[in-house]
Amino acid sequence: MRGNRSARILGPYQARDKWRLVIIDGASRKSMIFGSIEQAEAARDSIGEHLQQHVILIGEALTQFADEKRRSGCKPLSVQAVFDRLSSFLPIERPMASLSTDEAQQIYDALGERFATATHHAALKRAKELYRWAIARNLVSVNPFASIKPVGKPRRGKLQLSLDEARKLSRALLSDAEQGDELSLALLLQVLLGLRTSEVLLRRVRDVDDGGRLLIIASGKTENARRRLEVPDVLTALLRGLVTNKAPDAFLFGGPSGHRQAWMWKGLRRYCEKLGLPTVCPHSLRGLHSSLAVEAGRTSQEVAAQLGHGSFGVTALHYVRPGAIENTRIRKVSGLLAQDREPAMESASPMKSALLSQLASLSEADLAKLLSVLPTLTDK
């Protein structure tokens, strides 16, 4: 709505226990409700200063902001996440120009009381970005969030389940997945393959390859996200059943429009409550995967590549739980120092010595895989 000479504000009028302003701009008429006459009068004064600009509601600006991000190439799920986050705490029925710095500070303080540090930091960053975008398009002249400082220091990494807790969750998920439950299968993919939530939700039927033995991640958050992942045997048949009679372009999970991330968040929370586990988020399952992989002896390059990271630095900082890397290092060092000074293998044949040397270098996970395919040996 563009301002003109006939633009004017009427009120405030009392409406039961609230107060109402009416903004008239040409043929357009909008009403705004406030909790007190002081708020209504402050909004009237602020709006009056901006009637020569666009009189645009926060919700309207947010829709335009999201549309522009989508046109610039942002992924639909990312755009929707930005829209959902901002619309959850900003007063979308208020004109953008009516929000004062004090009100913006109150909004941020309320977020700090409700959410973790990293969450309200991200919300503040997005609010500042929205208003910078609006200023650049002459929708407002002031960013009420500009001077607000983020409070607190975000914690690196997310709460992860212990090994026993992870086993308990995995058993429950597998049992439900075998009964045809899509949510449990989606969460299992995140645990066993270390996928981002968006990577699970954006998978199409054609991404399931080689009879369910491979899952293709064609694109993602970064260039390193592109990878072909081996699917554990326990999930192969379940994936084959999931894609049966579906079109190649259909989403793996959900109907024609797929699922939003809240589907996995709420579903995992229900599982945690049902099983008496600490409440964790889906992204924590990705971190759990990396921690268990490191503790099982996988190399840093292998773990980073599995997660789609360019280097192990990001993996170690945000995903691997404290102590996992150190414990792996301790096991390797103690294994070297605990060896006999005169190993018995010295008297063995060269072929046997070479084989024993290779076995000693295998990780626990590789040893378990090897034992599973070897024939059973009986004592003679």
pLDDT tens for 60-108 read 999 999 999 988 888 777 788 889 889 999 999 888 888 999 999 999 9
Query: Please, where in the chain does CATH 1.10.443.10 lie?
Result: 163-324
Least reliable range by pLDDT among 82-91, 140-149, 188-197, 235-244: 188-197
pTM beyond 0.75: no
pLDDT band of 185, cuts 50, 70, 90: very high
What's residue 221's pLDDT?
Answer: 55
Interstrand relation of 208-209 and 214-217 (parallel, antiparallel or unpaired): antiparallel
Strand partners, 230: 214
Provide the token pair at 237: 């048949």
Average of pLDDT values for 266-290?
85
Q: Evaluate if residue 355 carries a pLDDT over 60.
A: yes
DSSP result, 275-292: HTPPP--HHHHHHHHHHH
pLDDT tens for 4-28 read 445 678 889 998 899 999 887 666 7
Query: Please, where in the chain does CATH 1.10.150.130 lie?
Result: 57-155
Q: What are phi and psi of 289, to 5 degrees?
A: -60, -45
Percent of the chain at pLDDT > 90 equals 31
User: Cα(47)–Cα(5) distance, rounded to whole angstroms?
Assistant: 14
Q: Evaluate if residue 127 carries a pLDDT over 80.
A: yes
Q: Evaluate if residue 371 carries a pLDDT over 70.
A: no
CA torsion, points 168, 170, 173, 176, in degrees to nearest 10?
-80
Scanning the chain, the segments in alpha helix (DSSP H) are 37-48, 58-71, 76-89, 101-114, 117-136, 163-177, 182-193, 197-201, 233-243, 261-275, 282-295, 300-307, 312-318, 324-337, 350-361, 364-373
Average of pLDDT values for 147-172?
80
What's residue 363's pLDDT?
Answer: 67
Distances (CA, A) of 343 to 268, 358, 364, 367: 50, 15, 22, 21
Q: What is the CATH number of domain 57-155?
A: 1.10.150.130
pLDDT band of 311, cuts 50, 70, 90: very low
User: Cα(372)–Cα(349) distance, rounded to whole angstroms?
Assistant: 26
pLDDT band of 125, cuts 50, 70, 90: very high
Q: What is the CATH number of domain 163-324?
A: 1.10.443.10
Residue 304 Cα to chain centre, angstroms: 17
**Under 8 Å between Cβ of 210 and 230:** no
What's residue 343's pLDDT?
Answer: 47
What's residue 251's pLDDT?
Answer: 93
Least reliable range by pLDDT among 158-162, 266-270, 279-283, 308-312: 308-312
Residues composing the chain: 380
Q: Evaluate if residue 295 carries a pLDDT over 60.
A: no
Distances (CA, A) of 160 to 29, 164, 277, 324: 52, 11, 11, 12
Least reliable range by pLDDT among 121-125, 199-203, 247-251, 347-351: 347-351
Least reliable range by pLDDT among 32-36, 129-133, 172-176, 289-293: 289-293
How confident is the prediction for the chain on average, in pLDDT? 76
What's residue 331's pLDDT?
Answer: 42
pLDDT tens for 45-55 read 777 766 545 56
